[in-house]
Chains A and B, each alone.
Chain A
Amino acid sequence: MSDPAQGGQARLLLSPAPHIKAASSTVGLAWLVVASLLPALAWGIALFGIAAVRVCAVGLAAAVAAEALTTVPFKRFTLGDGSAVLTGLIVGMFLPAGVSLVVPAAASFFAIVVVKQTFGGLGRNWMNPAVGGVLFALLSWNASMARWIPLASGAAVPPLDALRSALAAGRSVPGGPLAVLNAAGYPFSGADASVLGWINGHLLGFLHVGLPTGAFDVVSGMVVGPIGAVSAPLLLAGAAFLLARGVIRWEIPVAYLAVFAVLAFALGGPATGRGWLTGEALFQLLSGTLLLGAFFAATDPVTSPLSRAGRWAYGTALGILTFVMRYFGSVGDGVVVSLALGNALVPLIDIAALGALAPSHARKAG
Chain B
Amino acid sequence: MRTRGLPRAGVIPPDNSLVPRGLAIANAAVPSIAVIPLLQHQGPPALCLVRPGDHVREGMLIGKADGPLSANVHSSIPGLVLEVPSIELPGGTRSDAVVIELGGEFDRSGKPRLTRSWESLSRLDLLGRIQAAGIVGLGGSLIPTHLKLATAPGAGVGLCVANGVDSEPSLSADDALMRLKAVEIAEAMRMCGKLLVAQRLVLAIGENQDDLVASFERIFREKGVACDIVVVPSRYPYGHEELVMASVDGSPAAGPHESRGKVINVATLHAIYEAVALDKPMIERVLTVTGGAVAAPRNLKVRIGTLVGDLFEECGGFSRPPAKIVVGGPMRGSAVPSPDTPVTKGTAGVVAFSRAEARPRVAYPCIRCGNCVEACPWGLVPMRLHKLVQQGEADRAMEEGLARCTECGCCAFACPSNIPLVVSLREGKKAAGRGAHV
Interface residue? A5 (CB, 8 A): yes
Number of interface residues of B (CB under 8 A): 71
Contact between B417 and A361, CB atoms less than 8 A apart: no
Known pairs A15-B360, A24-B416, A359-B404; A7 contacts B335 (CB<8 A): no
| CA distance in complex: A101, B415 (Å) | 39
Interface residue? B368 (CB, 8 A): yes
| CA distance in complex: A155, B302 (Å) | 80
CB under 8 Å from chain A, chain B span 292-330: 309, 312-313, 317-318, 321-326, 328, 330
Known pairs A19-B333, A20-B331, A123-B365; A12 contacts B380 (CB<8 A): no
Of the residues A13, A27, A307, contact of B360 by C-beta under 8 Å: A13
CB under 8 Å from chain B, chain A span 70-107: 81
Contact between A306 and B383, CB atoms less than 8 A apart: yes
Residues of chain A within 8 A of B378, CB atoms compared: 359
CB under 8 Å from chain A, chain B span 353-411: 353, 355, 357-358, 360-361, 364-371, 373-374, 378-381, 383-384, 398-401, 403-404, 407, 409
Of the residues B330, B366, B381, contact of A19 by C-beta under 8 Å: B330
| CA distance in complex: A48, B422 (Å) | 51
Known pairs A122-B364, A354-B381; A17 contacts B331 (CB<8 A): yes
A304 to chain B, nearest CB (A): 8
Contact between B322 and A2, CB atoms less than 8 A apart: yes
| CA distance in complex: A49, B4 (Å) | 59
Interface residue? B153 (CB, 8 A): no
Residues of chain B within 8 A of A359, CB atoms compared: 255, 378-380, 401, 404
Question: How extensive is the interface on chain A, given as a class?
Answer: 35 or more
Interface residue? A18 (CB, 8 A): yes
Contact between B418 and A301, CB atoms less than 8 A apart: no
Interface residue? A245 (CB, 8 A): no
Known pairs A17-B409, A81-B364; A358 contacts B423 (CB<8 A): no
Contact between B335 and A12, CB atoms less than 8 A apart: yes
Interface residue? A209 (CB, 8 A): no
Of the residues A3, A6, A14, A307, contact of B317 by C-beta under 8 Å: A6
Interface residue? A325 (CB, 8 A): no
B288 to chain A, nearest CB (A): 14
Interface residue? A174 (CB, 8 A): no
Contact between A361 and B413, CB atoms less than 8 A apart: no
CB under 8 Å from chain B, chain A span 278-306: 301-306
Interface residue? A185 (CB, 8 A): no
| CA distance in complex: A176, B119 (Å) | 86
| CA distance in complex: A254, B333 (Å) | 41
Known pairs A306-B368, A354-B381; A16 contacts B400 (CB<8 A): no
Of the residues B255, B339, B351, B370, contact of A8 by C-beta under 8 Å: B339
Interface residue? A26 (CB, 8 A): yes
Residues of chain B within 8 A of A22, CB atoms compared: 11, 13, 371, 413-416
Most-contacted residue by chain A among B313, B321, B366, B401 (CB, 10 A): B321
CB under 8 Å from chain A, chain B span 172-188: none
Interface residue? A357 (CB, 8 A): yes
Residues of chain B within 8 A of A302, CB atoms compared: 367-368
Chain B's closest residue to A346 (CB) is B368
Residues of chain A within 8 A of B328, CB atoms compared: 17
| CA distance in complex: A56, B332 (Å) | 47
Interface residue? A202 (CB, 8 A): no
Residues of chain B within 8 A of A357, CB atoms compared: 373, 379, 381
Interface residue? A152 (CB, 8 A): no
CB under 8 Å from chain B, chain A span 298-344: 301-308
Interface residue? A365 (CB, 8 A): yes
Chain A's closest residue to B359 (CB) is A13
A81 to chain B, nearest CB (A): 7
**Can you name 18 A-B pairs with beta carbons within 8 Å?**
A7-B313, A10-B322, A12-B322, A12-B324, A12-B325, A13-B335, A19-B351, A20-B330, A21-B413, A25-B416, A26-B416, A121-B365, A123-B367, A301-B369, A303-B368, A306-B383, A358-B381, A364-B399
Q: What residues of chain B have their CB less than 8 Å away from a CB belonging to chain A? A: 11, 13-14, 169, 255, 309, 312-313, 317-318, 321-326, 328, 330-340, 351, 353, 355, 357-358, 360-361, 364-371, 373-374, 378-381, 383-384, 398-401, 403-404, 407, 409, 412-418, 420, 422-423, 433-434
Q: What residues of chain A have their CB less than 8 Å away from a CB belonging to chain B? A: 2-8, 10, 12-22, 24-27, 29, 81, 121-124, 301-308, 354, 357-359, 361, 364-366
